[in-house]
Amino acid sequence: MERIYVFVSGPLAWIAWTVFVVGSIYRIWHLLKLAKEKEQVLFSYISFKYAIRSIINWAIPWNTNNMRLHPIFVGVAFLFHIGFFLILAFLSAHVILLEEGFGLGWPALPDIVADMLAFAVLGACIFFAARRVVRPEVAFVTDWTDYALLGLVAAPFLTGILAYHQWGDPLVVTLLHILSAELLIASIPFTRLSHMLFAPFTRGYIGSEFGMVRHVKDW
């Protein structure tokens, strides 16, 4: 079991991050290549100013018209995304791993905050799943992949919480935690989680069209 742990936390982690980085670069490169080959005209409608304007306005919770129609969803969604990245980068155990592996480090979140955030992210996943069942307009466009993606995101948080609270065998739980996180990281570029990569482009493009050509807000 220790040897599996060594493999999963070492070489496999390198593989997962490499897949993520190389995959992400490939997807973005492919997107731009496709645009250049078949829709080169799009580039002449990109305005940095309006792209940023759009991205900023959609990055502020409850700022857009539609966000105000869904205040609870927006709260949960922002908490989910912020929690996700805060925990990824500032959970003390993660910071220590970086310290061990690379000798570098930065301040970590207080454990209680990180713990609450982790529960919040997990809760958000449950909220999203429930929403897919309860809301007809969401259920209509939901298929198994949507639940699978939610499961993929929820798994590292569930196992992370178990590991932190030492519920279950610490080695097994930690192993599962690392494995599920690696699966998540590696699948980002190749699933609809790639919205992480593409959202700045879709948002920026439409923001440019609305701002530069149509002279109107897109939020």
Partner 1 sequence: MSERVWIKDEGIERGAEALTPERIERTINAVLGNETGARLMAYVETCAHCGLCSEACHFYLSRDRDPSYSPVGKVKQTIWPMLKNKGKVSVEFMKQATQIAQTECNLCRRCVQYCPFGIDIAYMMTLVRRIVHKLELTPLYIQDTAHSHSATLNQMWVKDDEWIDALHWQEDELRDEFPTARIPLEKEGAEIMYSVIGPEPKFRTQLIYQAAAIMNVAGLDWTMPATPGWDNSDMAMFTGDSEIMARLKRAHFETAARLRVKKIVMGECGHAFRSVYDTGNRVLGWRMPPIPVIHALEFYWDLLNEGRIKVAKQIEEPVTFHDPCNVVRGRGLHEKAREVVRAFCKNLVEMHPNREHNLCCAAGGGVINCGPPFKNARVESNRAKAEQLKATGVKICIAPCHNCHGGLDDIIHKYELDMELKFLGEIIYECMEKPEAQ
Partner 2 sequence: MTRRHHALWLGALLGGMVLALCSAPAWSEDTVLKTEAFGTLRRPVAIFDHDTHNEKAGLDDCAICHHVYQDGKLVKDSSSEDQACSDCHALKRQGRQPGLREAYHGACVGCHKSKGKGPVACGQCHQR
List the one residue from 19, 118, 152, 175 that touches partner 2 (CB under 8 A): 175
Q: Which of 94, 85, 53, 101 is nearest to 153 (CA)?
A: 85
CA atoms in the 13 A half-sphere facing the CB of 207: 20
Asked if 119 touches partner 2 (CB under 8 A), the answer is no
Asked if 93 touches partner 2 (CB under 8 A), the answer is yes
List the one residue from 163, 179, 181, 185 that touches partner 2 (CB under 8 A): 163
Residue 102 binds which one of partner 2, partner 1, none, with CB within 5 to 8 A depending on kind? none
- CA gyration radius, the chain: 20
List the one residue from 32, 34, 56, 96 that touches partner 2 (CB under 8 A): 96
| 72 or 112: CB nearest partner 1 | 72
- From residue 150, give the alpha-carbon distance in Å to each of 9, 22, 185: 23, 23, 13
Name the amino acid, one letter, at 184: L
Min dist CB 46 to partner 1, Å, is 12
Question: By the 8 A CB rule, do 114 and 92 touch?
Answer: yes
Cα 66 from chain centre: 21
Residue 217 binds which one of partner 2, partner 1, none, with CB within 5 to 8 A depending on kind? partner 1
Please name the residues in contact with 134: beta carbons below 8 A apart, sequence gap of 6 or more: none
Asked if 100 touches partner 2 (CB under 8 A), the answer is yes
Please name the residues in contact with 62: beta carbons below 8 A apart, sequence gap of 6 or more: 68, 71, 74
Asked if 111 touches partner 2 (CB under 8 A), the answer is yes
* Cα(118)–Cα(60) distance, integer angstroms: 22
List the one residue from 63, 66, 145, 166 that touches partner 2 (CB under 8 A): 166
Asked if 13 touches partner 2 (CB under 8 A), the answer is no
| 171 or 213: CB nearest partner 1 | 213
Using CB under 8 A, list all residues that contact partner 2: 2-3, 5-6, 9-10, 92-93, 96, 99-100, 103, 105, 111, 163-166, 170-171, 173-175
